[in-house]
Structure 1
Amino acid sequence: MNESLLTEIQDRILFLTLKRPESLNSFNLEMLTGITNSILEAENNPEIKVIVISGAGRSFCAGGDVKTMGNTNASDVYEHIGVLNKCIKAIKDTHKPVIASIHGFAAGAGFNLALACDLIIAAEDSKFALSFSQVGLISDGGGSYFLPQLIGPHLAKQFFFSGEAVSAERMAQLGIVNFLVPAKDLKEETVKYANKLAGGPGKAFGMMKKLIDHSFTSNLDEILEKERMIQTLMVATEDHHEGVLAFKEKRKPVFTGK
């Protein structure tokens, strides 16, 4: 049993709840390994359509545990970040949509964990902070990659250099947060949206995710050819046939992800 991560499957949705509330869900190896393994298992489970990551207690995730900093050597740090990197890669590599449901603080690598997800739903009073500079460190967990792509290098440098907390409203204005909801409605709204995705064309969602992510490292010709090849495969899926039939019959499609 993983004491740092709560894992639940409900109605085609895998819920991963970071469970170290006494330290604002700061990372440890058990938590990171648990997230990675759970996502890898979900990737191979056709019953799971969507993954939701959230935090227990007062906050989403504080990132690295500041209480243990200064007591580790370079080798330990190198190994720990390697485990973190596997977790980030698992989120990006899975074909299943991954939603980060944020309340309280998402700080440091906890913010970067959210950035690795496909969508962010945040409570209106939540805050985001790239707090690495405040302890004399650089970003880890992929923030140096994700954030500049979302908001450009100048603003990314401002956030990294200052380390100051930024409101969820500002993050929504910048396009980092997809949906802002009242704190009391966060879980309900997250589940509602996850269920909406779970009822969608899973294979198409997975391919959309890959194409969009690859667009940052591909040129137009490469993306056009990928679209051409993938669409050739998509027209043979059951979801496509169901979508066309539902359109003709003027009803809502019932997708199965096949």
Structure 2
Amino acid sequence: MTDAHRAEESVLLHRDGRLARVTLNRPARRNSFDLAMLARFEDVLHELSRDDGTEVVLLTGAGTAFCAGTDLHELATLDARATMSVQRRTAELVERWYRLEQSTVAALNGPAIGSGAVLGLASDLRVAADTCFATFPEVGFGIPLTWSGMAILADLVGADLAKRWLLLGDRIPADELRDLRLVTEVVEPGRLADAATGLAERLLATSAVGRSMTKRAARLAGPRFEAAANDSYLGALSVALRPAGDYLARDPR
């Protein structure tokens, strides 16, 4: 693939020995997911799931944002059936990322918004640039957080704090993410790549079997994706019932 073609890909996959780097690559839309990007990420996950040579996967975003979740501008153009499909596929995407056999590291290079934050938090380990923050603005748009977000947030910080974040749309700065142990380290943006790579190298220095078995054991105590299965239906219904202008006018993406 030529450099020009790679630049057009909405999700980039680069392998370096036992380490794979995945980059969300729609910086003009703050790496929010449209249908093409969703399909590309699904393909990347399928490829990684069949890749016995890769042991650690590092996820980050191009540009100044990590991920702004679903592209609301495209979502507003979809009919009810297509909206339902998007909600279902994105929830499955997060679960597949969470259940990936390889160890996963998220390098949060900038704002992680709504379901984009959910994707980052579904990684095994996370580091953040000091310009990063997480926020969940969905309730302000009249829609719930989907992508199995409540299940993951409740598992990480407890249901009460997760509910407060969602109801108030709080902005959680990088230092608070660190204090809550949601990220292992907060660094200047120019040091993020090295910090994430260093974390990946620490993982690669340990037993692949031990890491895999630890992930399998953690899944038993992790978020209950089955209990969040209605996310896609609730999300699709709420989007269908809201006039597009109600949330697009305040879209932070």
2:30 counterpart residue number: 24
Cα pair distance change 1:30/1:71, threshold 3 Å: closer
CA deviation after TM superposition for structure 1 residue 12, in Å: 1.3
1:50 counterpart residue number: 56
Cα pair distance change 1:145/1:198, threshold 3 Å: same
CA deviation after TM superposition for structure 1 residue 57, in Å: 0.8
| TM-score, L = length of structure 2 | 0.81
Give the letter aligned to residue 32 of structure 1.
L
What is the aligned-residue RMSD (CA, Å)?
A: 1.8
CA deviation after TM superposition for structure 1 residue 148, in Å: 1.0
Greater Rg by CA: 1
1:173 matched to 2:190? The reply is no
Of 89, 93, 98, the residue aligned with 2:99 is 93
CA deviation after TM superposition for structure 1 residue 194, in Å: 1.0
Q: How does 1:96-115 map to 2 (within 5 A)?
A: 96-115=102-121
1:116 matched to 2:137? The reply is no
Quote the Cα distance in structure 2 between the aligned partners of 1:217 and 1:88.
11
In structure 2, list runs of 5 or more residues that go unmatched: 225-253
Per-residue CA deviation, residues 234-258 of structure 1 (Å, 9 max, x unaligned), is xxxxxxxxxxxxxxxxxxxxxxxxx
Q: How many residues align?
A: 218
Quote the Cα distance in structure 1 between the aligned partners of 2:117 and 2:195.
20
In structure 1, list runs of 5 or more residues that go unmatched: 219-258
| TM-score, L = length of structure 1 | 0.79
Quote the Cα distance in structure 2 between the aligned partners of 1:214 and 1:43.
20
2:196 counterpart residue number: 190
Residue identity over aligned pairs, in percent, reads: 25
CA contact (8 A) 2:55 2:208 kept: yes
2:218 counterpart residue number: 212
Give the letter aligned to residue 141 of structure 2.
V
1:81 matched to 2:87? The reply is yes
Q: How does 1:243-254 map to 2 (within 5 A)?
A: none
Matched residue SS, 1:7:
strand
CA deviation after TM superposition for structure 1 residue 216, in Å: 4.0
CA contact (8 A) 1:25 1:59 kept: yes
2:143 counterpart residue number: 137
